[in-house]
């Protein structure tokens, strides 16, 4: 069932209040990608157990697979059933039109990322598209996020190491961040400080000093996010929330826990064909990962229902 504009605006107002609380209370909201209903259940159970606010997020392929309105309905149902604070984030949306459709559907958070569809998109094209989404989002109050260039990696499990020196060339700068935020009017800036997408054979290294300089360079009311929250030593998150990061994205760790646990459950139950009996252990493993992240993000106990 579609939400009324009054309901959407009430949700986005609460979403903005959440982000403001994150700055005041020094926590980050976990934004967890979902591929299916089981992953959504894992997010909801973790949020309930730890009394933590959460976002469920969908990239273009996930929207195509599940359906935006279906996720809207499921999120609203689980919010009521579990008594939790939960929102929807459209993640790395490559087109303005996709963002507008998500805003109309009631997504509280919108991430416009033109470079996702065109890695070589010009600065002008990215800024123009981002400004259009920012303006459109004013109708509902949705919180808009963006970054000025392509974010390296993907939500996969990689076997090869990454070249940290090459990655450093794509890092955000305080000056560039300030200029982009002011040019676009976005609410949230996705900082690049070593937090690339995916899981790798070596741990990621986040430049926390750079993050502090970025935080100092922009308006205190502008929110910061970190993508690529998987496969990252947890102490980086603990430092990031103290500096003022409000949102951290996690995907690959959830997918890895889901698949590896599913393989194990299937191997241990070769004669079981009732999927409903196989899945609790699987989404329980995903829930455990989410709980670990929530603890590192300092968001446990921070939900406002």
Tell me the catalytic residues. Answer: 91
In angstroms, rounded to a whole number, what is the distance separating the alpha carbons of residues 142 and 281?
Answer: 35
Closest CA to 57 of 21, 107, 106, 16: 107
Neighbours of 98 (CB within 10 A): 18
Spatial contact of 169 and 193, defined as CB atoms under 8 Å apart = no
159 secondary structure, DSSP code: S
Spatial contact of 249 and 224, defined as CB atoms under 8 Å apart = no
Spatial contact of 170 and 210, defined as CB atoms under 8 Å apart = no
Spatial contact of 41 and 283, defined as CB atoms under 8 Å apart = yes
Chain Cα centroid distance, residue 88: 9
Q: What are phi and psi of 107, to 5 degrees?
A: -65, 130
Spatial contact of 144 and 131, defined as CB atoms under 8 Å apart = no
């Amino acid at each position: 069932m579609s939400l009324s504009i009054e309901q959407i605006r009430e949700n986005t107002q609460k979403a903005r209040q959440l982000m403001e609380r994150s700055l005041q209370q020094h926590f980050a909201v976990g934004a967890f990608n979902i591929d299916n209903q089981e992953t959504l259940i894992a997010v909801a159970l973790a949020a309930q157990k730890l009394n933590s606010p959460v976002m469920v997020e969908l990239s273009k392929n996930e929207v195509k697979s599940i359906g935006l309105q279906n996720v809207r309905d499921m999120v609203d149902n689980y919010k009521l059933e579990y008594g939790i604070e939960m929102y929807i984030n459209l993640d790395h949306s490559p087109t303005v039109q996709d963002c507008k459709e998500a805003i109309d559907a009631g997504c509280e958070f919108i991430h416009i990322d033109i470079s996702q569809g065109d890695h070589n998109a010009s600065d002008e094209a990215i800024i123009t598209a981002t400004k259009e989404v920012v303006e459109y989002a004013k109708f509902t109050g949705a919180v808009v996020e963006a970054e000025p260039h392509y974010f390296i990696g993907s939500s996969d499990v990689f076997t090869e190491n990454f070249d940290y020196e090459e990655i450093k060339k794509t890092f955000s700068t305080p000056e560039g961040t300030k200029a982009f935020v002011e040019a676009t009017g976005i609410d949230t800036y996705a900082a690049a400080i070593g937090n690339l997408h995916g899981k790798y054979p070596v741990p990621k290294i986040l430049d926390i000093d750079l993050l502090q300089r970025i935080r100092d360079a922009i308006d205190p009311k502008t929110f910061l996010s970190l993508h690529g929250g998987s496969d990252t030593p947890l102490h980086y998150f603990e430092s990031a929330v103290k500096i003022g990061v409000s949102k951290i994205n996690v995907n690959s760790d959830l997918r890895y826990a889901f698949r590896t646990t599913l393989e194990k459950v299937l191997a241990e139950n070769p004669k079981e064909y009732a999927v409903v009996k196989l899945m609790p252990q699987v989404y329980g493993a995903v829930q455990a990962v989410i709980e670990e992240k929530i603890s590192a993000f300092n968001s446990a106990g921070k939900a406002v229902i």
